[in-house]
Amino acid sequence: TKKGFIFDLDGVIVDTAKYHYLAWKKIANELGIDFTHEHNELLKGVSRVRSLDIILGLGNVEASQDQKDQWLVQKNEEYLTYLVDMDQSEILPGVMSVLEFLKANQQPIALGSASKNARPILDKTGILSYFDVIVDGNDVSNAKPDPEVFLQAAQKLGISNENSIVFEDSVAGIQAANIATMTSIGIGEASILNEAKYNFKDFTFIDEAFLNSLINN
Ligand code: G16
Ligand code: MG
């Protein structure tokens, strides 16, 4: 049977969280807001607009919409400078072999990401051609845990929600997959992603036997 395999981007395929962190930290520090790695956890899988609101909230900073729009542009310009040198070496361990295996077994593959920079990242890392469908921050209006991004991905793949499988590193993303009645697979800390149906520390722990069981169930 064909299943729909939907991948989140940041924290699943590449570790762009470190670049988001540096870009946000620059703005936060300019505003006198301390922005730690712990704070950054709050932004995982969260949209750009919502991320800014969270950071401003940390510093009790109020701002006009115009000012916020400026910071959003500034953040993205800073973030993009980190993507310039991105290449295949930034793909997280084990991801390539899973993509290769799914392709070899004619399984449909989609991206389901909150990022508006998803396409250039897939392009620069050389894996754009693995994806039959891309749904990203430019396509959706409701952020995870709203299931919109995954529902669109499954629909565009032509696969039912029940036959779709989602790889996610964020709690909101796992919740979105569960709400969509898809099979949720947490990538990262099982204690944090405890709502996922299956958990793996990273893709090196996902073997062909497991992938076959997903395909054949
Ligand atoms: C990613 C990151 C978030 C980021 C969001 C929007 O989501 O996890 O931290 O805020 O994209 O990114 P951008 O500013 O590039 O539009 P995901 O869903 O790929 O994990
Ligand atoms: Mg993510």
Could you report the per-residue pLDDT of 61-102, keeping only the tens digit for each? 999 999 999 999 999 999 999 999 999 999 999 999 999 999
Q: What is the CA(62)–ligand 2 centre distance, in A?
A: 28
pTM of the model: 0.94
168-202 pLDDT tens trace: 999 999 999 999 999 999 999 999 999 999 999 99
- Regarding the beta carbon of 14 and ligand 1, being less than 6 Å apart is answered no
Q: Which atom of ligand 1 is nearest to the CA of 149?
A: 18
Smallest-distance ligand from the CA of 171? 2
Lowest mean pLDDT among 3-12, 18-27, 36-45, 164-173: 36-45
Q: What is the CA(213)–ligand 1 centre distance, in A?
A: 30
Q: What is the mean pLDDT of the chain?
A: 96
- Regarding the beta carbon of 50 and ligand 1, being less than 6 Å apart is answered no
Q: Walk across the sheet containing 109-112 and list its strands.
A: 133-135, 109-112, 4-7, 164-168, 183-187, 198-200
Q: What is the CA(1)–ligand 1 centre distance, in A?
A: 32
- Regarding the beta carbon of 40 and ligand 1, being less than 6 Å apart is answered no
- Regarding the beta carbon of 51 and ligand 1, being less than 6 Å apart is answered yes
- Regarding the beta carbon of 75 and ligand 1, being less than 6 Å apart is answered no
Catalytic residues: 8, 10
Of all protein residues, the one whose alpha carbon is nearest to atom 3 of ligand 1 is 45
The pLDDT > 70 percentage for the chain reads 100
Q: Pairing mode, if any, of strands 109-112 and 4-7?
A: parallel
Smallest-distance ligand from the CA of 112? 1
